[in-house]
Amino acid sequence: MENNIIYQKDACPINCVNDLLSRKWVFGIMKDLFAGKKHFNEFKEDKPTLSNVVLSDTLKYLENQKLISKKVIEDDSKRNTEYYLTEKGKKMNKILYEMVIFGLYELEGDLRDDEFKEEIRKGYEEILL
């Protein structure tokens, strides 16, 4: 008997999520939003190779996907833009948290100290769960 799973791009939820999130910097920016960052320059703080153009394009992409919303605040001296997670964007918390857990405990990397891993896990748990 043949497998009944449909592998068409639009019908497979895994493919749809992969398409949505496969852009470079999406996960890092989403993590920053969960951590409370909301300004353009805050997103660049720990990403030295992220250019202004790519950051701007990625923020527009996330906004078009309805994962974030943008609020423009204007006062007499300047114009300031803030970015926020939408309800849809907030639902990504479990995906990001599971990536943290997998990365900490299943991938071989520099994090070999179990106490340090636990500290990192707790930090992400605070912002994602």
Report residue 99 CA to chain centroid gap: 11
> Percent of the chain at pLDDT above 90?
69
Among all chains, which residue has been given the structure tokens 């990403």? Answer: 47
Q: Are 43 and 99 in contact (CB under 8 A)?
A: no
Segment 33-69, tens digit of pLDDT: 999 999 999 999 999 999 999 999 999 999 999 999 9
pLDDT at 119: 94
> Which class does domain 9-88 fall in?
mainly alpha
**Can you give the pTM of this predicted structure?**
0.85
Domain spans of the chain, in order of start: 9-88, 92-129
